[in-house]
């Protein structure tokens, strides 16, 4: 049994700092690096790739909408081709910065509102898949476990890492409970750690209404933008390793094979 731990990184911009990337990176295996549209800038990207390299953490692109003011969390209408080319632009930009310090990209994980949209919207998912195939068909697509996008990407021959969120409540169908629902975000550290274990070891997660669903997952998302997030990451990792689960980057682990 093995699992990847991914975390969003490099979301600072100019003088603005977000996240404690240097504290959390020892505990994760894959870093999703912002690409300058919703967060990040070329200097932050370079610094973050080097940080990941130092910790032997695999690097992926974390592209989003061109909406720095809204941090890529707001829905933005797009016309055909825009998502594809926004993604190519950002993946290529990070790929170049990474290549200049000797690092290759492992994966692509869309950010925020684009993550949510592409999970289920076929047009968005198609453009995401086309972007990855157009740039480098070996890159792993990280998307919501059980989503339409996951199936479409597998059908298209892409490597896919199915992602779950131990700190988010789930609904019956395997969808994330909307943040507006009470209990949608789980703050208790022990609970999060236990849910991470459930997901990694048993491929099961309990839903908001008390049932249990099956969810095959390749990677768990660790949120890094709360103070003390690194302690949670450390706790999750320790629990996983203590239980004999290998914590490995998705590209190394044999996961992500579609």
Specify the residue, 76 or 156, whose C-beta has the smaller distance to a copy of itself.
Answer: 76
CA distance 201 to 184: 23
CB of 99 to a copy of itself, least distance (A): 6
Please name the residue that has the structure tokens 């130092």.
54
Please say which residue, 42 or 228, places its beta carbon nearer to a copy of itself.
42
Q: Count the Cβ atoms, other than its own, within 10 Å of residue 211.
A: 11
Indicate the residue among 71 and 170 with the shorter CB distance to a copy of itself. Answer: 71
C-alpha 46 chain-centroid distance: 19
Q: Which is nearer to a copy of itself, 70 or 258 (CB)?
A: 70
CB of 125 to a copy of itself, least distance (A): 17
Cα gap 134→140, rounded to integer Å: 13
Name the DSSP class of 16.
B
Least spacing, CB of residue 167 vs a copy of itself, in Å:
18
The nearest distance, CB 235 to a copy of itself, in angstroms, is 25
Minimal distance, residue 43 CB to a copy of itself, in Å: 5
Given a contact cutoff of 8 angstroms between Cβ atoms, the answer to whether 166 and 236 are in contact is yes
Burial class (CB in 10 A: 0-12, 13-18, 19+), 156: middle
Q: How far is the CB of 154 from a copy of itself (least distance, A)?
A: 21
62 DSSP β-pair partners: 34
| CA pair distance 80, 87, nearest whole angstrom | 13
Q: Any idea of the CA torsion for 5, 10, 11, 12, to the nearest 10 degrees? A: 150
* Shortest CB 46 distance to a copy of itself, Å: 5
Nearer to a copy of itself, 79 or 182 (CB): 79
Give the separation between CA 128 and CA 85, rounded to whole angstroms: 9
Which of 13, 27 has the CB closer to a copy of itself?
13
**Residues at the site binding a copy of itself, with contacts judged by CB under 8 A:** 13-18, 36, 41-43, 45-46, 66-71, 74-79, 81-82, 84-86, 88-97, 99-101, 113, 130-131, 134-135
- As a whole number of angstroms, the distance between CA 2 and CA 245 comes to 5
User: What's the CA gap between 156 and 5, in Å, rounded?
Assistant: 25
Q: What is the DSSP letter of 68?
A: T
Closer residue to a copy of itself in complex, CB, 16/238: 16
């Amino acid at each position: 049994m093995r699992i990847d731990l991914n975390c969003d990184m490099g979301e600072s911009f100019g003088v603005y700092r977000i996240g404690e990337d240097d504290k959390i990176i020892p505990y994760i295996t894959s870093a999703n690096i912002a690409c300058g549209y919703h967060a990040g800038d070329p200097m932050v990207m370079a610094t973050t790739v080097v940080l990941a390299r130092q910790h032997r953490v695999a690097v992926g692109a974390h592209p989003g909408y061109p909406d720095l003011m809204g941090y890529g969390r707001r829905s933005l209408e797009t016309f055909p081709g825009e998502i594809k080319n926004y993604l190519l632009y950002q993946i290529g930009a990070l790929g170049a910065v990474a290549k200049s310090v000797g690092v290759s990209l492992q994966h692509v994980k869309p950010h925020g509102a684009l993550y949510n949209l592409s999970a289920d919207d076929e047009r968005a998912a198609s453009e995401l898949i086309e972007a990855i195939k157009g740039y480098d068909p070996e890159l792993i697509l990280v998307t919501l476990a059980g989503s339409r996008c996951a199936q479409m990407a597998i059908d298209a021959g892409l490597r896919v890492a199915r992602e779950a969120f131990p700190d988010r409540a789930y609904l019956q169908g395997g969808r994330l409970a909307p943040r507006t629902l009470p209990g949608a975000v789980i703050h208790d550290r022990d609970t999060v750690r236990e849910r991470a274990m459930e997901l990694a070891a048993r491929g099961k997660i309990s839903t908001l209404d008390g049932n249990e669903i099956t969810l095959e997952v390749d990677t768990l998302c660790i949120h890094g933008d709360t103070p003390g997030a690194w302690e949670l990451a450390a706790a999750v990792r320790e629990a996983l390793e203590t239980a004999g689960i290998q914590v490995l980057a998705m590209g190394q682990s044999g996961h992500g094979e579609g």
